[in-house]
Structure 1
Amino acid sequence: MKKTIVIVDDHVLIAKALEGIIDNFKDFEVIYVAENGKDLIQKFENNNKIPDIILLDISMPIMDGFETVLWLKENHPNIKVMALSMQGDDKSVIKMIKNGAKGYLLKNTHPKELENAIKKLNNDGFFYPEWASKIIFSNLGNDAVVENNLKISDREREFLKYTVTELSYKEIADKMCCSPRTVESYRDQLCDKLELKTRVGLAVFAMKNGFA
């Protein structure tokens, strides 16, 4: 069964072009388009189907991408949100991720890269291209806790090493010779200890504190 996608973009031509591109992808289909965050909420309230993935523009009237992704995080946390924008500045990237976006792409992305990004987002739960990762790593984790003040087990250390790779949690589990559920428990325990919320935050901590 194909994973469902909703596009939220106030530029109708761009949204329709995206819809046509994505509908040619083997594993995904666009089920509808919304013009902004408020329009999306209204569609949800009118019992439109809740999608697996949302591709979200940032600059929109009435309710922009920053507000929309925050609302989605609070009301539909299981939806995976990919920011798809012309804005690639540090402030926009960091704010979208802090508000709940699990991926970030620019609108000039090649269709093949878009398909790969959506697959990664669906399978791994996140996707950030190299340029976005550099922004994240240079702006997050400045308040990371010093290792000596933490009780990090050897297995958690091993898990931290893998957070900076492109391996999925299932692939990390294979490397660590344990179940995916065990890997998820390492992730949750570390997030609690470090007061972090995402794999990106864990990866930043790992890099800044010599685990990777």
Structure 2
Amino acid sequence: MDKPVTIAIIDDEVLFRKSLILLVSREETFQVVFDGENGLDLLSYLESTSKHPDIVLLDIRMSVMDGIETSQIITEKYPHIKMIILSSIESDLLIEQMIYYGAAAYLVKKSHPEIVIKTIKQVHKNGIYFDANIMSIIINAKRKGADNRSKDLFCGMSTREIEILNLICQQYNTKEIADRLFLSERTVDGHRKRMLDKTHSKNVIGLILWGIKNQVLAFE
């Protein structure tokens, strides 16, 4: 049996949190390893164990420590943990802010249960999951501040790296990119690491934001 996807759920609305635990626990490949009512609960848990969850479902509005502050700390101290933001607010500015702080996905609380499960699976598989609406918000926000750097020079990136970056943005995983470009998975991982180094990005989200800002991504 494959190793389960481990999940922590952080939300101060007890009824919503318990309902979400029940929903997620129905999936045989998911395992809820922790739940808490604020960011401080989560950070205390992470400091107490070496077995960190793969994914955290994190509410934004919470007492003691909210999701915004918590996400910044997670990105800085635990960049290997993927964050899916939960919110009842559909605000372009808030979505942009949370993605900037490292969110791998953004879910409104009225989302259908199937969308919640799909999002968790996609984040685990590809590292990120942004639907067309979220991608549109990211693109519009970053293009406002984009400069006129030469697309021909690709800002120090090789053409192969730009090709891989575009596929990452389209949410292809390492194996899918390797198959599509007739490369080994090890080669793709090597390109990804060099791109992270060149752009001073901590994760895939940072790479995508860099690509949009520098206008090297080919969105359809």
* 2:171 counterpart letter in structure 1: E
| Equivalent position of 1:171 in the other structure | 176
- 1:30-71 per-position Cα deviation (integer Å, ceiling 9, x unaligned): 122111011212233444852111000001111110110111
Q: Which residue of 2 aligns with 1:162?
A: 167
Question: Mean alpha-carbon deviation: is it higher for 114-123 or for 34-43?
Answer: 34-43
Residue 110 of structure 2 aligns with which residue? 108
Kindly report which structure 2 residues correspond to 1:50-199, keeping only aligned pairs within 5 A, or say none. Answer: 50-141=52-143, 142-143=145-146, 145-149=149-153, 150-197=155-202, 198-199=206-207
Q: SS of 1:147's equivalent?
A: coil
Alpha-carbon distance, 1:13 to partner: 0.5
| Structure 1 CA distance for aligned equivalents of residues 15 and 109 of structure 2 | 13
The yes-or-no answer on 1:201 pairing with 2:209 is yes
Amino acid at match of 1:174: D
Larger displacement relative to structure 2 (116-125 or 183-192): 183-192
What are the Cα deviations for residues 147-200 of structure 1, in whole angstroms up to 9, with x where unaligned? 245343332243244234232122011111112232233233334444555343
Q: What is the aligned residue count?
A: 211
Distance 1:190 1:143, change over 3 A: farther
1:85-110 Cα offsets, whole Å, 9 max, x none, are 11221121111111121111111111
- TM-score w.r.t. the length of structure 1 is 0.88
Give the AA of the match of 1:57: D
- 1:9–1:36 CA contact under 8 A, matched in 2: yes
Q: Once the two structures are aligned, what percentage of the paired residues are identical?
A: 33
Question: Is this contact kept in 2: 1:160–1:211, CA < 8 A?
Answer: no
Is residue 55–residue 83 contact of structure 1 (8 Å, CA) maintained in 2? yes
The amino acid across from 1:91 in the alignment is L
Cα gap change, 1:42 to 1:79, in 2 (>3 Å):
same
Question: Deviation at 1:134?
Answer: 1.0
Structure 1 residues without counterparts, runs of 5 or longer: none
Contact 1:7 1:55 survives alignment (8 Å): yes
Which amino acid letter does the alignment assign opposite residue 146 of structure 1? S
Is the 2:58–2:86 contact (alpha carbons within 8 Å) kept by the matching residues of 1? yes
For 1:32 and 1:104, how far apart are their aligned partners in 2? 20
Give the residue type in structure 2 aligned to 1:180.
E
- Contact 2:24/2:117 (8 A) holds in 1: yes
